[in-house]
Amino acid sequence: MPELPEVEVVRRGLLDHVLGRTITHASLTGARVARRHPAGPADLQARVEGAHVVAADRRGKYLWLVLDPPDDDPQALLIHLGMSGQLLVEPVDAPREKHLHATFDFADEGLQLRFVDQRTFGGLTLTSLHADPYGDRTTSEEGIDRHAHGIPEPVLHIAPDPLEPAFDRPSTVRRMKAKDSEIKRILLDQSVVSGIGNIYADEALWRAGVHGRRPAGTLTKPTLGRVLDHATEVMVAALEQGGTSFDDLYVNVNGASGYFDRSLQAYQQTGRPCARCGTPIRRESFMNRASHFCPRCQPVPRRPRV
């Protein structure tokens, strides 16, 4: 599933290609693509036509376009990429993809935004915008006010991610320290810190030398902070390389894949020597997923005696 760097790559592509444009026509195929929109695909289609794209925004792995309709308040077109969703910007007359579920035409340049989803876990919904619960910390160092238009209602419960100005590292460390859950489980909890998925959790824990099943409460605050810092570093590195791609489903708006998978040290490296100590990387089941770790650099925590 795409994680923060992959979604941010798509967001930046939308900024380059659809920001400031007006949607002249929308077409949704079938009901599944709009199953999260209670009024159905016809309503969504009618409400976005004529709308102006005023922002492309993101929190964690959630992505949305802020639309300014002619006769309504700004709305968020929330885009769920799911496991295989793609947003592609292509000429209107380009060949249609096999798993194309939605198209959006614009007033100029003959461009079309396409939502392609092979496994159909993704989808679109139009939702209201609300004041950001972390609105007092949304301005970046460059003076850019992230989430100036608000946050979509389904995203209000999501915590800030490490790459946005609203992220409060000391507060996040305190919340992690207060929990008895395993550290990897907390990293994946989007209400604590958003954007970190299985790939980057494994990589951050490997860099920090911490096993994912260590209870967060047993770790020191400096260690928890180091885990968060490594998560931030690895996601920034992945973003610089266009994200992590294991197949042709993870692409930017131009259809190009990222190549950070070549730099992974833990995730999907089972049996390969650890880059630090040479011990073969191991794989174990975790929350219906797989965890990858070095048994020497990241010792498995001992179970308490009963």
Taking the C-alpha atoms of residue 277 and residue 203, their distance in angstroms, rounded to an integer, is 16
Which position among 2, 5, 41, 160 bears the catalytic label? 2
Which position among 3, 6, 90, 203 bears the catalytic label? 3
Q: List residues bridging with 27 in a β-sheet.
A: 103
Taking the C-alpha atoms of residue 138 and residue 101, their distance in angstroms, rounded to an integer, is 34
Taking the C-alpha atoms of residue 186 and residue 290, their distance in angstroms, rounded to an integer, is 16
C-beta separation of 294 from 277 below 8 A: yes
Which position among 273, 289, 296, 299 bears the catalytic label? 289
- Smallest Cα–Cα separation from 116: which of 94, 147, 149? 94
3 as an active site residue: the answer is yes
Which position among 61, 114, 146, 226 bears the catalytic label? 61
152 as an active site residue: the answer is no
Distance separating the N- and C-terminal Cα atoms of the chain: 38
Residue indicated by tokens 């969703």: 85
Three-class DSSP labels, 203-236: HHHHHHCCCCCCEHHHCCHHHHHHHHHHHHHHHH
296 as an active site residue: the answer is no
Quick one: CA torsion of 50, 56, 57, 62, rounded to 10 degrees? Answer: 80
* DSSP SS3 for 126: strand
C-beta separation of 191 from 179 below 8 A: no
Q: Which helix (H) or strand (E) holds 183?
A: helix 183-187
141 as an active site residue: the answer is no
DSSP state of 43: H
Residue indicated by tokens 């894949």: 257
Q: Which residues are catalytic?
A: 2-3, 61, 289
